[in-house]
Amino acid sequence: MKMISIISFTLFISICSAFTLKRNTVRIRVSKEVIRPVLTPKNVTATLKDYMQLPSAQYTCVPMPLNSSLTRIIGSDEEFLLSVPKIKFLLPIEGIIEIVPKVRANVKVESDRVLISSNSCTISGSPIVEQLNIASKFDFRIFVILTWKEGLDGDDILSRANIEIDFYPPGKLALIPRRIQEFAGKTSMSFVLSKLLKTFMENLASDYERWVSDKDYRIQRREMQKEFDAEFSKRTKLN
């Protein structure tokens, strides 16, 4: 009977803790869409679809905005490390908190779209980020879908990005009302995502227009891909 009571009490505490955690969870959801028209010369055989179907490793050729970087993980043809600029959050009690995220993302080229996804993110930043071990207090998901449209009236590259963050505030951050944290988080993330996505799409469009009109650049990209493939094949054999 005593053992049953202990088990029941433990189960009760677990349920209460889970309820409290769920109630205090800071949920941040941000979505953005960008449509970017591109110029395809009429006297070329290459198409926008050909460009969008290039191997994912070639996304490292696209300049990244706002001092961010996209680095292919050596030994992988679809995994990348994305580093983005500092994100600032203004919160009561603590003031401005700076967070520097690094996202490990998968880029998958499909027949009708390019899917960029991740649920892996490490962060550093202000001293409180380290003190409260905030890196272990959140779940992160990002999905970016790139598609394209070709037509007589012009070609377009389309993007839709979604970021989902569930944050479980530790320590004194738990004293800040959830709605204030969600507002601060959504405002900051929305600003950064808008800037990143808009500039990335501009750079992607510029890279396409160079690729489609410059035969030497297309040859250069093919040679670069051969090097990627050779490296990936070598590492696969070693493993």
Nearest of 75, 126, 122 to residue 99 by alpha carbon: 126
- The structure tokens listed for 173 are 């951050």
**Residue 6 within any structural domain of the chain:** no
Q: Mean pLDDT for the chain?
A: 82
DSSP-assigned letter for residue 13? H
**Residue 19 within any structural domain of the chain:** no
Q: Is the dihedral of CA 126, 131, 136, 139 positive or negative?
A: negative
When mean pLDDT is compared across 14-23, 108-117, 153-162, the lowest value belongs to: 14-23
Side-chain half-sphere CA neighbours of 189 within 13 A: 21
pLDDT of residue 216: 93
pLDDT digits (tens, 9 = 90+) for 9-20: 334 333 333 433
**Residue 8 within any structural domain of the chain:** no
Side-chain half-sphere CA neighbours of 136 within 13 A: 5
**Residue 84 within any structural domain of the chain:** yes
Asked whether the predicted pLDDT for residue 205 surpasses 60, the reply is yes
pLDDT of residue 62: 84
Q: 164 near 14, Cβ under 8 Å?
A: no
Asked whether the predicted pLDDT for residue 189 surpasses 90, the reply is no
**Residue 4 within any structural domain of the chain:** no
When mean pLDDT is compared across 45-59, 120-134, 190-204, the lowest value belongs to: 120-134
- The structure tokens listed for 189 are 């993330």
How many domains, in total, are found in the chain?
1
pLDDT range class, residue 30, cuts 50, 70, 90: very high
**Residue 5 within any structural domain of the chain:** no
Quote the domain boundaries for residue 123: 24-238
How far is the C-alpha of 193 from the C-alpha of 161, rounded, in Å?
A: 8
Asked whether the predicted pLDDT for residue 42 surpasses 70, the reply is yes
pLDDT digits (tens, 9 = 90+) for 58-90: 887 888 877 788 888 877 778 888 887 788 877
Q: 124 near 130, Cβ under 8 Å?
A: yes
Q: 117 near 140, Cβ under 8 Å?
A: no
**Residue 37 within any structural domain of the chain:** yes
**Residue 14 within any structural domain of the chain:** no
pLDDT of residue 57: 80
- Count of other CB atoms within 10 angstroms of residue 154: 11
- Count of other CB atoms within 10 angstroms of residue 227: 10
Asked whether the predicted pLDDT for residue 164 surpasses 80, the reply is yes
CATH number at residue 29: 3.30.530.70
Torsion of CA 40, 41, 47, 53, to 10 degrees: -50
Alpha-helix residue ranges (DSSP H) falling in 91-170: 127-131
